[in-house]
Structure 1
Amino acid sequence: MKKILIVSAHPEPASLTAALTTFAADRLRAAGHDVRVSDLYAMKWKATVDADDFPADAVDGRLDVMAVSERATLAGRLSPDVAAEQEKVLWSDAVILQFPLWWFSVPAILKGWVDRVFTAGFAYGPAVPPPYGEGPLAGRRALLSVTAGAGEPALSDRGVHGRLADLLHPLQHGLFFFTGMAPLEPFAVYGANELPDERYAAARREYGRRLDGLFTDEPVPFRPLAGGDYDRAMRLMPGVEAPGTSGPALHLRPRRAGGVG
């Protein structure tokens, strides 16, 4: 049995996001796993970081968020809602973020969950293991499950919106891999604004397959910071990438035959 945290972000309980959240929770529980769901809108999650998050660490003058959040985290003085979500992350063997793609990113409430929960001293900073490969949350899997109104061609390499993988790079690499989690290839439902029954059924089948592979599918092969590919300034060494590689793909290890990085 594994433990999975699903964080869901959509204001409409009858939305596709909510339906996929319920489907994922039911599928994983049927497989014998323990599942917790953080439905951020139902929880009325506070989406902004401010001094109220650190009630016992308030200081006069300038709010140094990293410094004060680290003090509060290490001393166990975070606000109760943040502390509860951190406990869920630590409890989990895998984290699934379920959300619609809004303005090429996550809904503000989900970004606020990241901002408030992944504090210094918990997810980054000198008091925890270094980022990009080790990290304080190592040993956990991570999956993005995204619904997008645009069609798949528009979110491809030559699509007008850009590649979905590039839009999700800040989460895949900058949140999950940075903190030590092993991100899987995202699951996406395209053309989600109008989804006839047959396409929804197909999406459920594919999502079910991805959920079944949550702990067996190969993670995205990001380069570890300490693996010899980066210099002391954390800049990729010249010539380690395949010819013609650019952008976020520079930080992927070339895959060998058989699909393993």
Structure 2
Amino acid sequence: GKEVVMLSLRLSGCVWSMLTVTLHQTFAATDAPPTAAPQTTAPPPAPPARPERGNYTVTNGNGTACLMARMGLQLNVSFSSASLNKTVLEVVNLQPNLTKSSGSCDLDSATLLLKADERATSLTLVFSLNATSSKYHLSGVTLLAAWPDMHAGNRSLDYLRGTLGRSYMCREEQTLAVTVNFSLNTFQLQVQPFGLKGDQFGAAEECQLDEDDMLIPIIVGAALAGLVLVVLVAYLIGRKRSHAGYQTI
């Protein structure tokens, strides 16, 4: 009888141990936090390359050029997307081969109208001339395009200031803020809206960005020249002192 009891106790202990291990594994599996699926975020679209430079000319009634512009243009437009439920920023290059230019010229104003197939874009640039000071500037920009509710314009701008009979040039990229939702980037710009003689630009007046860009190598060159001069002077002084230390026998 004693062996049977002990065997029963051992079997009961083994069953209890197996049951304990099984319950522990079950609870451990139940308590383990669920593994989150890896989330992949689509990278933002790469900005377009620098726009191609286009040649745009406006002629008066007798066919003579009264406004000339060479430039690459890039549109920065932001709008609210109902499907995405957020504000979307789009950057679009104006392609010269798909853009038609027209316009008009008056004594104190000149207009360049650019129409592109991309989103049925219509871009108007208005230049104004102050006859008293013989200075002109870009005074207005208007954009009509097939973005949602896109009609942006500003008639009180003051960009691209130049002198009558001369062209305005800026090789560096410029950002012209027009409205909260629209800005215009220009690249390798040269424009002359007044005082053209034939089909050639007048003498160029360069923008501040170009002048600053040219100033940097001048400063670096002057600093290097100064450093070379200091080293040369120090060398000559050291050589003179070494000769003064010798005595004639």
Structure in which a larger fraction of residues adopt helix: 1
Q: Same fold (TM over 0.5)?
A: no
Larger Rg: 2
Relative contact order, CA 8 A, sep 6+: which one is greater? Answer: 1
What TM-score, normalized to structure 1? 0.25
